[in-house]
Structure 1
Amino acid sequence: MRNLSVTTFIHILFSVAILILIATFLLFLSWDKDRHKIEEYKRYQLISITFLSKLQLNPGKEDLDALYKDLRVKPLSEKKATKIKKQIETEGETVFTGGSSLGQVRVFRIEDEHYIYVQRMQHNLLLEDDRAENYYFEIAVALGVFLIAVLLILYLAVLRKLYPLKKLHKQIQRFAQGDMQTRITYLYDDEIGKIAKSFDDAIVHINALSTSKNLFMRNVMHELKTPITKGRIVVEMMEDEASKKILVRAFERMNELISELAEIERVTTQSFEPTFEYVMLDEVIRRSQELLMMAKDNVTVDVKNVALATDIKLLALAIKNLLDNGIKYSKDKHVTLKTVGDGLEISSKGEKLQHPLSYYVEPFSQEEKRSSGFGLGLYIVHNILEKLGCGLDYKYVDGYNIFVIKAGDACRFG
């Protein structure tokens, strides 16, 4: 029940209510039919006993008229009686038969009319049931139909009231998928309208924050590039090789940080979409090694050269970051890249990570004892692989840290 949508719950609720109402209505009709039969039987039994008892006393016309009035029946004229008798022979349905040693009474039904035939010696009376018509059945049917119609109208009214939630959901989904220009619209000031307005206000605020963040990042990176470049030029003129080496490394690390921040901004933007193309895995790895800018002796490659539908620049960058981390933190400055099944494994000898992988895919996360790096490598890798429809996993086996690029719908390496 907790996972049912509101619309599904309303469908079930009203369906059960209508079924219960229909079942109750059918039970009532069945009960009313039985009740009508019992009442009819009791009435004709009373008429049978009363008529036969009175006729035994040879009543006069006035007595018979009083009896007709009391029992709510009326005698038929001789002409009509003859016609009815012929109809009874062809289409009459017997609904009651009763009597005693005093005589016999039978009741016939023709269409919706009831006729009572009384026989006692010289008396042969054909009477018409003159009982007042009741409309209990018709009223019950009308009431049942009315209640079902009311429930259906309420059901449609509730669905119509909830329909804007579907539109609201689609607009929020578009925003979640990166359409930052989406606006939440709703005409009425009810609860749904208030929720829509709150979401719209949140979207406006998020857009403002995102614009400010992007502007700040670009300004910072732009402003840092100039002094770093000037600093490198000045450092190259220094004669003290030891100091020069330290400063060059410092400027290089600042450049790396700016590049990583720029890549983070690009990849993590919701509107960013990878450019998929068919490439060979060897070409991706070659690009990764070029970006790595280290001797090929540091990397052992054992992969199947398969075709991939991927963004070659992004996948190469992700593999480069994993290779860079493996070399940087391994004991022997060596890393192995190989295909296992339909995934890629990057393994290096070293100590086991102290935290779960989820800790390291957050920005600026790293081991406390490691001073090199900014803790952005795995964060960038994680975001890139998400964009490419792949996954990232980690395991520690026999002294080796192994990062696994898990296959997805668009990335299989085996």
Structure 2
Amino acid sequence: MLKSDSLIVKITLLFIFSSISFIFFVLYFIGSKANKDNAVIEQRYDSVIDNISDLFKFGYEIEDLQTYLYDVGFYQVEDSSILSKVSNRYLVIYNDRKQIIVNMKKINGHYYIIIEDVKNGNKFIYTDYNYDDYTTYYVIALLSFITLVFFYILVLKSLLPLRLLRREVKKFANGNMDIKVISDNKDEIGELSKEFAKAANTINEMNKARVLFLRSIMHELKTPIAKGRIVTEMITDTKAKNRLISAFTRLNVIIDNFAKIEEMNTNNYKISKSRFRLIDLIDNINKMLLIEEERPRNVILISREAQMFADFDLMSLSVKNLLDNALKYSDDHRVVIFVEGKDLVIQNQGKPFKDDLHKYFSPFYSDGSDNKQKGLGLGMYIIKNTVESQNLVLDYKYVDNNHYFYIRDCIINDTNEV
């Protein structure tokens, strides 16, 4: 179904308007021409009738009047049906010997002069070549309209590839890189189609190269991590051994998370939503953050039995980065997690952001802080993309020296247990 604001609809409406205007113009033009022609013809017929009257009064016979009519371009018509029509006007003329009646009739757009001899009842019908024949004008109008229709079809044919091109653009936007040239025309649309297909293929090749590059890096990173883990098992100091194992485990988790983000960005990751408890999500995040048991608890969890419905892995990644950033930027090094309606809220005290929040969603964005360790880096970028990929909304507000991050509509049940 075509939208009312589409280019094809606008051109069609323009064609309809132009066609109606053209038809009205043709009818008006021919009507005006007919009125002018009729006025000229009637004036000529009136002049001829006046001459007939003068001649008859001077004693001319009917035969003389017929000769006069022949001389001025009239000819006699043998059609008695014309006599039955009502006269437009008539004139009774007398002379010393006779009386005649002269009529002028207009029948089907054609004018006639009828001379009637009152004495013997004879009637003579005369006319000239005054046909209201506007066939030429109608033919020209028809040919002009056909030309208008031809150009309309020609324009539509040129624009129809735009619909196919729009579909290809939507496919490309949805991650489908199989783009084909939809028009071989030599016009601008055909050139645009070819350039778009060329650009899409170039981007596709670049994405393939990027994915191969990242996978190669991840593979090369995992190899020394695996070797380090093996060597760690040989350490006799239990505390040092556990710390190294935790460090290698976190590195492995980070690489896996990057792989997941890469899959998500290339639309290869399949969202799998399920129902789970908030406490289970936080436990998984604690493992990702490697919060040690002897470390003071600085994450306050409220409504731990609240039920969530989301992709567990992506939600873990989102909340993990929110907590990581909140812990870094919190003035009291504490973070509160609670439920508000259907929303999950992460709160921490801290100074307001230096720049607009949307700037922090850019990858590798830095606000110019001297402390490079506290730069947001990829954190906010990961948060935004992992939340939005689940069709959820990330919201934010700053009130009374507190940051509040909201993940909207991810809570399906809240038992309010602390």
User: What TM-score bracket applies, with the shorter chain setting the length?
Assistant: 0.7 to 0.9
CA–CA distance in structure 2, aligned partners of residues 271 and 177 of structure 1: 11
Change over 3 Å in CA distance of 1:224–1:70 after alignment to 2: same
How has the CA–CA distance of structure 1 residues 119 and 269 changed in structure 2, closer, same or farther, with 3 Å as cutoff? same
Partner of 1:356 in structure 2? 356
Which residues in structure 2 correspond to 1:19-98 (within 5 Å)? Answer: 19-60=20-61, 63-75=64-76, 84-85=82-83, 88=84, 92-97=85-90
Partner of residue 401, structure 1 = 403
Residue 359 of structure 1 aligns with an amino acid whose one-letter code is K
Structure 1 unaligned spans of 5+: none
1:294-343 CA distance string (max 9 Å, x none): 477613224894674x4333233322322332234323333223344543
Q: 1:386 aligns with which of 370, 385, 388?
A: 388
Number of residue-to-residue matches in the alignment: 397
Contact persistence 2:361–2:380 (CA under 8 A): yes
Letter in 2 for 1:337: I
Contact 1:352 1:399 in 2 (8 A): yes
Residue type at the aligned position of 1:378: M
TM-score, structure 2 normalization: 0.80
Match of 2:140 in 1: 143
Identity of aligned residues (%): 28
Q: For residue 290 of structure 1, what is the aligned residue in structure 2?
A: 284
Distance in 2 of aligned mates of 1:391 and 1:334:
24
Counterpart CA distance in 2 for 1:166 and 1:189 is 17
Which residue of structure 1 lines up, in the alignment, with residue 203 of structure 2? Answer: 206
RMSD value over aligned CA atoms?
3.6
The answer as to whether partners of 2:351 and 2:401 remain within 8 angstroms in 1 is: yes
Query: Alpha-carbon deviations, 1:253-283, whole Å to 9, x = none?
Result: 6445423322221221134342345x2xx52
Q: Which residue in 1 is equivalent to 2:327?
A: 327
**Change in CA separation of 1:45 and 1:189 when aligned onto 2, cut-off 3 Å:** closer
CA distance in 1, matches of 2:42, 2:268: 82
What is the TM-score of this pair, normalised by structure 1? 0.81
Report the CA distance shift for 1:201/1:118 in structure 2 as closer, same or farther (over 3 A): same
Cα distance in 2 for partners of 1:304, 1:74 equals 111
Residue 229 of structure 1: aligned partner: 226
Aligned residue for 2:113, secondary structure, equals strand
**How far, CA to CA, are the matches of 2:311 and 2:196 in structure 1?**
34
Go from structure 1 to structure 2 and tell me whether the alpha carbon gap of 1:21 and 1:284 turns closer, same or farther (over 3 Å shift): farther
Q: How far apart in 2 are the matches of 1:371 and 1:161?
A: 57
The 1:48/1:413 distance shift into structure 2, 3 A limit, reads farther
Is the CA contact (8 Å cut-off) linking 1:339 and 1:413 kept in structure 2?
no
Q: Could you tell me whether the CA contact under 8 Å between 2:365 and 2:377 is conserved in 1?
A: yes
Q: Kindly indicate whether residue 19 of structure 2 is the aligned counterpart of residue 18 of structure 1.
A: yes
More off after superposition, 222-231 vs 68-77: 68-77
Unaligned runs of 5+ in 2: 414-418
Q: Which residue of 2 aligns with 1:377?
A: 379
Distance 1:93 1:143, change over 3 A: farther
- CA shift in 2, pair 1:47/1:361, >3 Å: same
**Matched residue, 1:272:** 269
**8 Å Cα contact 2:113/2:125 also seen in 1:** yes
Q: 1:250 to 1:287 in 2, by over 3 A?
A: closer
Deviations 1:150-169 (A, max 9, x none): 10111011101221221122
Please, which moves more after superposition, 353-362 or 211-220?
Answer: 353-362
Between the aligned partners of 1:129 and 1:271, the Cα distance in structure 2 is: 92
